[in-house]
Structure 1
Amino acid sequence: KIGVAVIWDEQGKILIDRRRQEGLLGGLWEFPGGKIEPEETVEACIKREIQEELGIEVEVGDRLITIDHTYTHFHVTLNVHHCRHLSGDPQPLECDEIRWVTLAEIDQFPFPKANVQIIQALHSFASS
């Protein structure tokens, strides 16, 4: 199980990061997050992972979507929450690059298949 953050800034932009080239899904963009530890809540996982990966503090808000996705060799459950950027300047501590993008710009970036549903959910959320 994975906790995933859609981090919004005050201008309504979303933080995405580019995975390192080596390894699975290398070079693709994604919403930051990570594995939920045993006994850990989704919210606690997201806060911890964002601090570790980007060096910033976020407030974890409402759930956007939960996605079950099967890749060729493994299965993931993504627990995706809206988050608000509280403090700190995001650093690419565990990825190649980070970028603040608008929802209109997000479709220009290549994402892993499981993330496509997150983007669709964001478009629905924005138009509601």
Structure 2
Amino acid sequence: MPQKTIGVGVIWNEQGQILIDRRLQTGVLGGLWEFPGGKIEPGETVEECIKREIWEELGIEIEVGKHLITIEHIYTHLHVTLIVHHCDYVSGTPQPLECDEVRWVTLAEIDEFPFPEANAQIIAALRQNV
């Protein structure tokens, strides 16, 4: 089974909202919402990965903050390690460059959006840290 290590950013704005994006319909877990991020490249730190992926996917600048949680999850097709960090939004207008849609939501609204199974642990960790 393939294994991927993914850097994930929980991006906060000054209003206390979190940026989420909807995966392309055509991809794996298509149409589900997620916290943005991507595969860590060889020689890259988690923080560098998150910053690069957010720029590539959404076209915004962020500041990567403290570690929130690391999750090991096995889907039927993939074993993922999600290394999740809090991030602060710095500048730019979020654009759906590699996804279908982006949206700022509050933690209270997050249950209205369907996420991949592994993300439930991220949401639970966010609720514990508020």
Q: Could you state the TM-score of these two structures normalised by the residue count of structure 2?
A: 0.96
Residues 36-55 of structure 1 mapped to structure 2, 5 A cutoff:
36-55=40-59
Where does structure 1 differ by over 6 angstroms across 4 or more consecutive aligned residues? none
Match of 2:9 in 1: 5
Match of 1:83 in 2: 87
**Structure 2: distance between partners of 1:91 and 1:101:** 15
**Could you tell me which amino acid in structure 1 is paired with residue 109 of structure 2?**
E
Q: Shift in Å at residue 92 of structure 1?
A: 0.5
**Structure 1: distance between partners of 2:45 and 2:7:** 9
Q: Could you state the TM-score of these two structures normalised by the residue count of structure 1?
A: 0.97
Instruction: Describe the superposition over 1:84-115 as per-residue Cα deviations: whole angstroms up to 9, x where unpaired.
Output: 00010100000000000000000110000011
Match of 1:118 in 2: 122
1:56 is aligned to 2:90: no
**Structure 2: distance between partners of 1:56 and 1:74:** 29
Choose the corresponding residue for 2:106, options 102, 106, 118. Answer: 102
What stretches of structure 2 of length at least 5 have no aligned partner?
A: none
Match of 1:17 in 2: 21
Q: Shift in Å at residue 73 of structure 1?
A: 1.7
**Structure 1: distance between partners of 2:74 and 2:107:** 26
**Could you tell me which amino acid in structure 2 is paired with residue 43 of structure 1?**
E
What stretches of structure 1 of length at least 5 have no aligned partner?
A: none
Q: Shift in Å at residue 74 of structure 1?
A: 1.2
Instruction: Describe the superposition over 1:52-83 as per-residue Cα deviations: whole angstroms up to 9, x where unpaired.
Output: 00000000000000000000121000000000
**Structure 1: distance between partners of 2:19 and 2:11:** 5
